[in-house]
Amino acid sequence: MNIKDTSELEISSLLEDVYRKYGYDFRQYSEAHIMRRIKNRMTLSGIEDISQMQSKVLNDESFASQLLQDLSITVTEMFRDPEFYKSLRENVIPILKTYPFIKIWHAGCSTGAEAYSMAIIMQEEGLYDRTTIYATDFNQHVLSHAKEGIFSNKLMKEYTANYQLSGGNESFSGYYTSDSDNVIMNQSLKKNIVWANHNLVTDSVFAEVHLILCRNVLIYFDINLQNKVQKLFYDSLINGGILCLGSKEGLRFTDLDKEYSELDKKQKIFKKKY
C-alpha cells in the first residue's frame, strides 16, 4: 500500500491501539498533524502500510516510544514571540503583583524553554520568591530534559535577541553557565519550578492558579478537544486569573468565549471574569 493511500479508519485504529496499550490519547488531535507525523515515521522506518506499523507499535516498545515522541508537540524556544512577553510584562505582571503568592501553570511545557523564560521575568520583577511555576507535559522524555535546564549553546544568540526584544535589560548570559557545547540554567531559576507529568487530553484540573500559559498547543487539537481543554483551564483559574494562548489560537467560537475579557487581543491574553 502506498503511504498516500492511508485512510482515516486505519489512522483511527492505530491511535486506538496506542491509547489502549500505552495510555496516550491522540484520538482528538487534528487530523493534519497526526497524518503528517505518522507518514513521516513510516517513511523514516521503511514501513509500507498502517497494519505493519500497528504490529510494531504493539510489539516493539522502542518503536512505540519513537512514535510517541513524533506525535508529541515539542516546538519551543526561550522568549518565543518577544512581543507576547513584552505584553506580559506590561499587562499581566501588575496584576500578579497584587497577590501575596502566585501560582503559574505552564501547560505543555515541552523542554522547558518558556518556563525558564517566565522564571526570568518573575525574578526581574522581584516576584520569584513568592511564585511557584508548575510546568507540565505528558511526555516524560522532554520533562526530564526540561528539569536539567540544559540547552545548546548554538541557541543562545537567538534566545538573547528574543530576551532583549521582550523588554529584558539585564545581561542574559548571567542566567546560565556555559561550555563549548551547552548552557545550563542557574539553580536560582530552577528552585521554584515544579516539573510534573500531566496530560491535557485525559487528566483533570491541575491546580488553582493565577496564570496559565498554553501557547501553540491547542492548534493541534480538534474543536471538541479544544473546548474540553479550555474548560479545564477555566476551572483551574481563580476568578480574575489570566489565560495566555498562542498567536494562532483564541477563545472565539469556543464555549467559554463570553467568560473572559481581553487584556491584549493581538497577543491572545485573556482575563477570567469574576
Per-residue model confidence (pLDDT) at position 6: 59
| R_g of the chain, CA atoms, integer Å | 20
Kindly report which listed range (37-46, 155-164, 265-274) carries the lowest average pLDDT score: 37-46
Parts of the chain belonging to CATH 3.40.50.150: 82-272
Q: Which of 45, 60, 52 is nearest to 6 (CA)?
A: 52
* Cβ contact 57:63 at 8 Å: yes
- Given a cut of 80, whether residue 261 has pLDDT beyond it is yes
Task: Read off the pLDDT of residues 94-138 as tens digits, 9 standing for 90 and up.
Answer: 999 999 999 999 999 999 999 999 999 999 999 999 999 999 999
- Given a cut of 90, whether residue 2 has pLDDT beyond it is no
Letter for the amino acid at 12? Answer: S
Would you put residue 126 in left (φ > 0), alpha (ψ -120 to 50) or beta?
Answer: left
Per-residue model confidence (pLDDT) at position 3: 46
Would you put residue 141 in left (φ > 0), alpha (ψ -120 to 50) or beta?
Answer: alpha
Max alpha carbon distance in the chain (Å)?
A: 61
pLDDT band at residue 75 using 50, 70 and 90 as cut-offs: confident
Which DSSP category does 63 fall into? H
The number of beta carbons lying within 10 Å of the beta carbon of residue 54 is 17
DSSP string, 115-157: HHHHHHHHHHTT-GGGEEEEEEES-HHHHHHHHHTEEEGGGHH
Task: Read off the pLDDT of residues 143-195 as tens digits, 9 standing for 90 and up.
Answer: 999 999 999 999 999 999 999 999 999 999 999 999 889 999 999 999 999 99
pLDDT band at residue 1 using 50, 70 and 90 as cut-offs: very low
Record the cell numbers describing residue 82, joined without a space: 518577544
Record the cell numbers describing residue 233, joined without a space: 483551564
- Given a cut of 70, whether residue 268 has pLDDT beyond it is yes
Evaluate if pTM is beyond 0.75.
yes
The domain defined by 82-272 folds into: Rossmann fold (3.40.50)
